[in-house]
Amino acid sequence: MVTRRLLQQLDGNRLLIATSVFFGLLFSASGLVPPLVIRRVIQGIQDPDRTTPFVMLGAILLAVYLLRSACRYFYGVFSHIAAYRTLDRLITRAYQHLQRMSPEFFTRKRSGELVSRTIGDIESIEDFVAHGIPETLLAIVIPIAMMVILISINPMLTLLCAVPLAFVMLFLYLLVHHTRSIWKSVRGNIAELVAQVQDYISGMTVIQSFVHEKHTEHDIQEHSARYRDAIIHANKWSLLPPAAIELTNGVGIILVVAMGGLAASNQEMPVADLVVFLMYIGQMIQPLLRIANLTENLQKATASAERVFELLDTKPSIRQPHNPVTPNPFNSRIIFDNVSFAYANGEDVLKQISFVVEPGEVVALVGPTGVGKTTATHLVPRFYDVTEGSVSIGDCDVRAMSLDFLRRQVAIVLQDVFLFHGSIRQNLLFGNPEATDEQLFEAIRASNAEPFVQMLPNGLDTIVGERGLRLSGGEKQRLSIARALLKDAPILILDEATSAVDAETESLIQNAVNRLSSGRTVLVIAHRLSTIQGADRVIVLESGEISQMGTHHQLMSVDGFYARIMKMQHASRDWQIGSTR
């Protein structure tokens, strides 16, 4: 099944593989000629009366070896071109598939494991395409061709030599099926090791600050030891085929020397034919030996292919509608109608919540941590789908719109800003790939990012580092706002956009957010309630349900969660570290 699916990936490259196999067959077929030429030379030496064109025979050998040299080169070139084209297609296909997966999928998978599958496992498949396919065909065709020639010379001796060859072929077939599952376990272990190392490298500052180096080092040692033991166990099995083939080759040569030598000494077989037998027996085993030596890589490739196909077979939980609707004109009203949501593990997060955000309104969601505020906002761009009820934009259920169209209408500014390793310009262009420098600077000014960008040595072309680590939290947040401004979407989601920054930076960000929110339909999440007092409406979520709804002043006039938290936050302003009162 895996092999069949791998062969299906060769679409568009089958001609290259066929050409590679042709040159491989020509290379191997030309190897049949030298023993026959040598046979003719021996016959000429043994029979002086027989005219033997030795010079011509030498010229034939020269031509054969020139042909073999060219064939070996083109055999390798075409097979590797096909292999790397196939890898390119698989890597692209795997990444495209990952982009269709929902955030829930990525919360269940480690990024290191996914990288291992999309790069490491796919790279291992190269050996199957470049070597496995052509070498397997040669390992079948060449021994058969040699057997035909040997049968024409001495049928009985040929059949005698074929007996151990048949046994070793059966042994190899059974062994391949046994070792495939072992190598799949090896690939799983290396994926775990890669994921753990990547995790610890990302959190190295935390490891060092807690003086946890010894603990994490021990953890990596354990993961590495599991990989080491798994691959040693796999190699013990994978190294059996070369040993078995060498033994078979030895048995074949012994039979030819013993039985052929006896026949030659009794004048029942010409010495020239015996020499051909010995040379062919040595050559016949070479394709099988090459396959045997590739066993480890080929098993690794098929095990990796299983893991890649498992990933490609994972169905996205969020799918495109069959007949997507494109509202025209677009109405940015957001409607939550009896919305309930539960994660795949059955945990209820939202329970029959209903509210409307009119075009141009700012509506804030507040509530305890983990109550479902971020989840609710993620239902709008369909990062998740509701369990019950519906989320609509205008009069259209978001599940009826194409994902591309829907997500172009929504800009998101998150608390945990993600910037890619690249320049500020490249990160801003995510908002609008067609933006001019003038538009970029306009967005930077509007987000209050201009002062710090101008101070950077390379301005817009400054590299921000992985996840933007070369910038402060406030600087990253302002660039995130600039990116959202460039997107210019009619709906805006703000998730704790001013948290974890100093007062001066918070003021700059708040001014930028006000510019960003102007004329847009806004859903905002905030723990610091002082930042949302100007919202048109505040919705309080408790235990997954709406417990309060109204303006800031309306909610402050009643004793409820909102008023209690607001008073607590006012009181906390007087808190000082080390204070016991």
pLDDT digits (tens, 9 = 90+) for 370-389: 888 989 999 999 999 999 99
Please, is 180 exposed, middle or buried when counting C-beta atoms within 10 Å of its C-beta (0-12, 13-18, 19+)?
A: middle
Q: What is the pLDDT of residue 396?
A: 93
The identity of residue 337, as a single letter, is D
pLDDT at 540 over 90: yes
CA–CA distance, 237 with 141 (Å, rounded to integer) = 26
Interstrand relation of 491-495 and 521-525 (parallel, antiparallel or unpaired)? parallel
pLDDT (0 to 100) of residue 4? 79
CATH topology of domain 85-313: ABC transporter transmembrane region fold (1.20.1560)
* Closest C-alpha among 507, 542, 537, 540 to residue 522: 537
Q: What is the pLDDT of residue 574?
A: 55
Tokens representing residue 37 in the block? 């030429």
How confident is the model at residue 377, as a pLDDT? Answer: 92
Mean pLDDT along residues 32-38: 84
**Considering only CA atoms, which of 511, 446, 495, 451 is closest in space to residue 475?**
451
Q: Which amino acid is at 473?
A: G
Q: In which residue are the tokens 């000014």 written?
A: 445
- Residue 578: its pLDDT value, please? 52
Written as one string, the DSSP assignment of 104-126 is HHHHHS-HHHHHIIIIIIHHHTH
By CB neighbour count within 10 A (0-12 exposed, 13-18 middle, 19+ buried), where does 543 fall? Answer: exposed
| pLDDT for position 159 | 83
Statement: the pTM of the whole predicted model exceeds 0.85: no
Same fold? 85-313, 324-407+530-571: no
Q: What are the residue boundaries of the structural domains of the chain, listed by start? A: 85-313, 324-407+530-571
Q: Which two tokens stand for residue 136?
A: 């397997």
C-alpha 544/C-alpha 382 separation (Å) is 19
For residues 330 and 409, the answer to whether their CB atoms sit within 8 Å is yes
Q: What is the pLDDT of residue 571?
A: 65
Of 201-210, 290-299, 384-393, the range with the lowest mean pLDDT is: 290-299
The pLDDT of residue 509 is 66
Q: 340 φ, ψ to 5°?
A: -125, 150
Nearest one of 413, 366, 365, 376 to 569, comparing CA atoms? 366
C-alpha 489/C-alpha 407 separation (Å) is 9
Q: Is the predicted pLDDT of residue 499 greater than 60, yes or no?
A: no
Per-residue pLDDT for 459 more than 70?
yes
Q: Does residue 257 surpass a pLDDT of 70? A: yes
Average pLDDT over residues 289-296: 69
How many helices (H) and strands (E) are present in the chain, helices listed first?
25, 10
Q: What's residue 378's pLDDT?
A: 92
pLDDT of residue 572: 60
Average pLDDT over the chain, rounded to an integer = 84
Measured over the CA atoms of residue 48, residue 53, residue 59 and residue 65, the dihedral's sign is negative
Q: Residues in the chain, how many?
A: 581
Write down the pLDDT at residue 577. 53
pLDDT-wise least confident of 46-60, 69-83, 254-268: 46-60
CA atoms within 13 A on the CB side of 335: 12
pLDDT at 204 over 90: no
Cβ(299)–Cβ(238) under 8 Å?
A: yes
Q: Which residues contact 110 (CB under 8 A, 6 or more apart)?
A: 195, 198, 199
Residue pair 381/521 in contact (Cβ under 8 Å)? The answer is no
Rounded CA-CA distance 43/276 in Å is 12
Identity of the residue numbered 490:
P
pLDDT tens digits for range 390-435: 999 988 999 999 999 999 999 988 878 888 888 999 999 988 999 8
Q: pLDDT > 90: what percent of the chain? A: 17
Q: Bridge-partner residues for 355, per DSSP?
A: 336
Distance between CA atoms of residues 68 and 75, nearest Å: 10
Residue 492, CA atoms < 13 Å, CB-side half-sphere: 31
State the average pLDDT over residues 129-146: 79
Indicate the pLDDT class of residue 537, thresholds 50, 70 and 90: very high
For 38-61, letters b (16+ CB in 10 Å) and e give bbbbbebeeeeeeeeeeeebeebe
End-to-end Cα spacing for the chain = 70
What dotted CATH number matches 324-407+530-571?
3.40.50.300
CA-CA-CA-CA dihedral for 338, 343, 349, 354, to nearest 10: -20
- Judge whether residue 16 has pLDDT over 60: yes
Report, as an integer, the average pLDDT of 238-261: 81
Say yes or no to pLDDT of 220 above 70.
Answer: yes
pLDDT tens, 322-374?
899 888 888 999 999 999 999 877 778 999 999 999 998 989 999 888 888 98
Do 514 and 362 contact (CB within 8 A), yes or no?
Answer: no
Query: Phi then psi for 537, rounded to 5 degrees?
Result: -155, 145
Kindly report the number of other CB atoms within 10 A of residue 261's CB atom.
Answer: 14
pLDDT at 580 over 50: no
Classify residue 355 as left (phi > 0), alpha (psi -120 to 50) or beta: beta
Q: Backbone phi, then psi, for 411, in 5-degree steps?
A: -110, 140
What residues contact 438, with CB distance under 8 A and at least 6 apart?
none
Share of the chain above pLDDT 70, in %: 93
In this predicted structure, the answer to whether residue 48 has a pLDDT above a threshold of 60 is: yes
pLDDT at 576: 53
Q: Please name the amino acid found at residue 89.
A: R
Mean pLDDT of the region 296-313: 82
Rounded distance between C-alpha atoms, residue 144 and residue 139, angstroms: 9
| pLDDT tens figures, 157-200 | 888 877 887 777 777 777 776 777 788 788 888 888 888 888 88
Span 537-556, average pLDDT: 91
User: Which residues, including other chains, have CB under 8 Å from residue 72's CB and lie 6 or more apart?
Assistant: 23, 27
